[in-house]
Amino acid sequence: MSAGSAFPLHNKKPNLPHQMDNLSHDVLHHILSRLPISSLIRFQYVCRSWRLLAQNPQFLDQHENFRCLIFHCDYPIRNHLCFVDFPAFQQQKQPVKRISTPFSATMPEYDVVGSCNGFLCLSDSLYNEKLFIYNPFTREYLELPKTKEFPNPDVVCGIGFHPQTKQFKVIKIVYSRGFRRIQRRVHHSEVQIFTLGSSNWRSVGRISHHLAHGQSQAIVNGRLHWVSLPRRHHHGRTIVSFDLGTEEFIDIPKPDYGSLSRCNYHLVILNGCLSAAVYCTHGKMEIWVMEQYGVKESWVKRFNIGTYMPKSIKQEASEISFKVSKIVLRSKIVKVVCILKSGEILLEYRNRALVLFNPTTGKFKDVIFEGMPNWFHTVVHFGSLNRIDSLFE
C-alpha cells in the first residue's frame, strides 16, 4: 500500500482503523516486519495497534528490512545526513532521503561516532565538547553531560549495548598531548564511561594503546573493537576490544601467519563475526573472518577482492571539493561496509562511490542512487522508532 493511496482510503472508510486494530498480532508482525524503515515511519500512523507494535523494542530488534545506509555528507552541502533503505540495493531506483538534525544550531560540525540499536552517537568535531544520542527517524535526541576538560585533547569515542546487562554505554577515550623539556611528545590517557540513564561520567582508568581518531569501531559480543596505531619500533597493530560489561580492555589474538601481520587494515562485522579487511599490493584486498569469537585459530581468509576503479572516481575531482571536505582527509582507499542478504559485499571507495562485489563471480557493480552526495562517510544503521526514554528502562 503506497503513501498516496493510504489516506484517501482512510477518508472513504471511517471504520478502517477499527478493522486494522482487529488484526491478530502475528498478522501485524508479518506485515510490518516486511516493510523498510522509511515505510514503517508512515504506517505507524494507520492505527493505534500498528503504532504500538512499531514502537515495541522487541519487534524492532535488528530486523533485516529495517537496515539502512546512512550517509554523513560533507559536500556539496556541509555536514548533513541522508539515508537509503537496504532493500533499495536490489533495484537502485530509490533516491536518498534527507535526515534533519534539530541540534545543528548548537553543534554545526559533527562526526558520526557509531550506530547502536536504532540510535546514532554524534560528537562535536570542532571542540570535542558535545555528544548527542539521536534517533534519526523519531528526531528525538539527548545531549550528554560534558566531561572535564583536557589540554590539547585527542578524543576517540564509541557507543554500544551489552546484551546481558541491557545497558547502553558511551565510551570516551581522551589523550592529552603534552611536551617535556626535550620536546618529546607525551600522551596521557583517561577512559570515561557514561551509562544511559545515569547523570554523570565515570573514569575507569587508562588505556595502554593509542587508538586513532576516526577509526571505525565494530560491535560484537557486547564489546567494542578498534585497531591501535603502530608503536615505535613495532610495525604491527593490535586489535583492541572494550567489554561493555566488565569495562575492561582486552587484546584480540591474531593468527601467526597471513596478512593480518600488516599495518594497514580496518575492522568490520560480517554475518555477526569480527572481520578484518586488509589492504594488499596493487589495490587488492583480503577479508579475514574470526569465525569463533576470541579463538585465535578460527581466523580464516574468507574473501579476496581484486583491483577496481569506479567510474565516478575516474573523473578528476574539482579542486574546491578537496578544500571544503573534511571527510576526504580521513578517507580510505576502499572500506568494506557490510555484506548483503544476496551475499554481495558493499564497498565504499575513497568516500566517493559505492560498489557491490560478487564473491562468487568476482565481478563489480557501481551503485548510484539519485541524490547521492559527492563526498560521504557511510554507516550501517538498524532503524527503529524507539524513544530516547526507553534507554533508561
- Each residue's pLDDT tens digit, 303-339: 999 999 998 887 654 444 444 555 555 557 899 999 9
Q: Shortest CA distance to 118 belongs to which of 391, 389, 381, 390?
A: 381
* pLDDT recorded at residue 318: 46
Q: What are the distances in angstroms from CA 268 to CA 291, 336, 346?
A: 13, 7, 12
Helix (H) or strand (E) holding 339: strand 334-339
Number of C-beta neighbours around residue 316 at 10 A: 7
If you average pLDDT over each of 82-86, 161-165, 208-212, 267-271, which comes out highest?
A: 267-271
pLDDT of the residue at 125: 84
Confidence of residue 138 (pLDDT cuts 50, 70, 90): confident
pLDDT of residue 181: 37
Identify the pLDDT of residue 312: 83
Q: What is the CATH number of the domain that holds 312?
A: 2.120.10.80
Which tens digit of pLDDT belongs to each residue from 54-80?
666 665 555 667 789 999 987 666 788
**C-beta separation of 224 from 171 below 8 A:** yes
Q: Is residue 265 in some structural domain?
A: yes
Give dist(CA 136, CA 100) in Å, integer. 7
Residue type, 246: T
More reliable by pLDDT, 243 or 38: 243
18 in a domain, yes or no?
no
Please state the rounded mean pLDDT for residues 46-52.
Answer: 66
Element (H, E) at 245: none
Q: What is the mean pLDDT of the chain?
A: 81
User: Whole-angstrom Cα distance, residue 124 to residue 142?
Assistant: 14
Give the mean pLDDT of 247-272: 89
Q: 120, 381 in Cβ contact below 8 A?
A: yes
159 and 113 Cβ atoms separated by less than 8 Å: yes
Is the predicted pLDDT of residue 5 greater than 50, yes or no?
no
Quote the pLDDT of residue 38.
72
CA atoms within 13 A on the CB side of 60: 26
| Three cell numbers written together for 116 | 547502536
As a whole number of angstroms, the distance between CA 5 and CA 105 comes to: 37
Per-residue model confidence as pLDDT tens digits over 88-128: 776 667 889 999 889 888 888 899 999 998 899 999 887 77
Do the beta carbons of residue 55 and residue 40 sit within 8 Å?
Answer: no
The reply to whether 8 falls in a domain is no
385, 66 Cβ separation under 8 angstroms: no
How big is the chain, counted in residues? Answer: 393
User: By residue range, what is the domain housing residue 357?
Assistant: 60-391
Convert 138-169 to b/e letters by CB count within 10 Å (16 or more is b): bebbbebeebeebeebbbbbbbbbbeeeebbb
Mean pLDDT of 221-231: 90
Does 13 fall in a domain? Answer: no
- The number of domains in the chain is 1
Region 134-157 average pLDDT: 87
pTM: 0.84
pLDDT at 328: 54
Give the Cα-Cα-Cα angle 357, 328, 110 (nearest 5 degrees). Answer: 105
For the segment 238-244, the average pLDDT, to the nearest whole number, is 94
- Which pLDDT score is estimated for 323? 45
Let me know if residue 72 belongs to a domain: yes
53 in a domain, yes or no? no
The residues near 371 (Cβ < 8 Å, ≥ 6 apart) are 82, 95, 96
The position carrying cell 546487562 is: 165
**In the prediction, which pLDDT does 44 show?**
64
Q: What is the mean pLDDT of residues 129-144?
A: 92
CB 310 within 8 A of CB 366: yes
The pLDDT of residue 11: 39
Here the cell at position 227 is 585497531
| More confidently predicted of 245 and 386 | 245
Assess if residue 55 is contained within a domain. no
CB 376 within 8 A of CB 153: no
135 belongs to a structural domain: yes
